[in-house]
Amino acid sequence: MAKDNRDYSFFEGKIVPTDEAKVSVKTHALQYGTGCFGGIRGYWNSEKEQLYLFRLRDHYLRLMNSAKILMMKPRYSVDELMDITMDLVRKNQWKQGIYIRPFLYKNELSLSPRLHNVSDDITIYTLPLDDYLDVNKGLKCKISSWIRLSDKMIPTRAKASGGYLNSALAKSEALMEGFDEAIFLDDAGNISEGSAENIFIVRDNQLITPPLSASILEGITRRTIMDIGENEMGLKVIERDFNRTELYIADEVFFCGTGVQVAWIKEIDHRIIGQGVIGKVTKGIQDRYFKIVNGNDSAHESWLSPVYL
Ligand code: PMP
């Protein structure tokens, strides 16, 4: 917890104790899911006594794209949001792994599910977070009976609150059936993504991931992995459609995302993937990823925002 045991959030233009950051039950976003959000991690490096926020600017640039799709008019620029976030994290005095959740929401108290001429505001809160899914154990997954919502229906490129009902349906189904996570097909029957993470397969030393047109979120971790795979590991990186059975026969399969980080998948629909152990490409990516986000790879310092001066 925060050092002085108080938890602070950014709300209605100010940093306030989180228990004062409250909205009305009439709030538009609460009724209609007309919000969009981000999810940013901070990594505490105890040797350097530093907290690093990973790709902060890129997360806010994506939030601005989500806002545009939802016809919002954010009152702050990307630079201002970065400064506010740094101030908020400092105010909370976090010295451990954290998750930052900026949330843009339609705050009007009016009826009717529409996007235009509805006011919006932004709140930001933080919480301690270590692993979201176990990155070492090898996840057991199932292809969801729910289909990934299509960009023709609800924009998947926007990290829109309402769209997460789709994720919640798939995640609960998977967990309640004894799996760790769900994998969605898109509406054409190709692999799309997990409930809150992008997916990669490895075949013959090629790193393959569904294209942006497969109704996926434009993941920042996905982009990071494509970059290090191609530029540092000499892998051929391919964005292309593939279907369910190609997952079964892949050499390696892993999820990536801010929450999940890089987590290998051991089993899908009761088929063991590869040899049933973490693959060497996945392991190489995982090791590099953790080095980078923890501030132990000077080649990627530009992706990090150190919080403490
Ligand atoms: N897809 C979905 C649906 C997600 O919620 C997330 C988590 N933000 C991701 C993919 C991964 O995106 P990122 O790497 O930017 O966290």
Kindly list the structural domains of the chain, giving each domain's residue range(s) and its CATH number in brackets, ordered by start. Answer: 8-128 (3.30.470.10), 139-293 (3.20.10.10)
Nearest CA owner, ligand 1 atom 3: 196
Residue 1 has pLDDT above 60, yes or no: no
Which residue, among 103, 221, 119, 236, has the nearest Cα to 162 in the 3D structure? 103
Asked if 9 and 15 count as a contact pair (C-beta separation under 8 A), the reply is yes
Active-site pick, 159, 171, 236, 283? 159
For 258-297, what is each residue's pLDDT tens digit?
Answer: 999 999 999 999 999 999 999 999 999 999 999 999 999 9
Question: Which atom of ligand 1 is nearest to 38's Cα?
Answer: 8
pLDDT above 80: residue 15: yes
The β-bridge relationship of strands 206-209 and 236-239 is: parallel
Whether 257 lines ligand 1, by a CB cut-off of 6 Å, is yes
Please tell me the predicted confidence (pLDDT) of residue 6.
82
102 ligand 1 Cβ < 6 A: no
Residue nearest to atom 12 of ligand 1 (CA): 219
User: How far is residue 49's CA from residue 307's CA, in Å, rounded to a whole number?
Assistant: 10
Is the Cα torsion angle 28, 31, 12, 42 positive or negative in sign?
Answer: negative
pLDDT for the residue numbered 97:
97
Tokens representing 131 are: 């692993």
Q: Is 155 in the pocket of ligand 1 (CB under 6 A)?
A: no
Q: What is the pLDDT of residue 200?
A: 98
Name the pLDDT band for 4 (thresholds 50, 70, 90).
low
Average pLDDT over residues 57-82: 97
Q: How far is CA 253 from CA 135, 194, 258, 260, 270, in A?
A: 13, 12, 17, 14, 14
Phi, psi for 42 (deg, rounded to 5): -115, 135
Least confident stretch, 3-12, 45-54, 108-117, 118-127: 3-12
Q: Which residues contact 258 (CB under 8 A, 6 or more apart)?
A: 39, 40, 41, 54, 59, 99, 220, 221
* Average of per-residue pLDDT across 59-87: 98
Mean pLDDT, residues 30-57 taken together: 97
Q: What is the pLDDT of residue 231?
A: 97
pLDDT reported for residue 3 = 60
97-118 pLDDT, tens per residue? Answer: 999 999 999 999 999 999 999 9
Calpha distance 209→61 (Å, rounded): 22
Give me the chain's average pLDDT, please: 96
* Percent of the chain residues topping a pLDDT of 90: 95
Per the annotation, the verdict on 137 as an active-site residue is no
Q: Say how many residues make up the chain.
A: 309
| Residue 203: burial class (beta carbons within 10 Å; 0-12, 13-18, 19+) | middle
User: Is the pLDDT assigned to residue 130 strictly greater than 90?
Assistant: no
Q: Is 193 near ligand 1, meaning CB less than 6 Å away?
A: yes
Residue 301's closest CA among 43, 128, 30?
43
pTM given for the model: 0.97
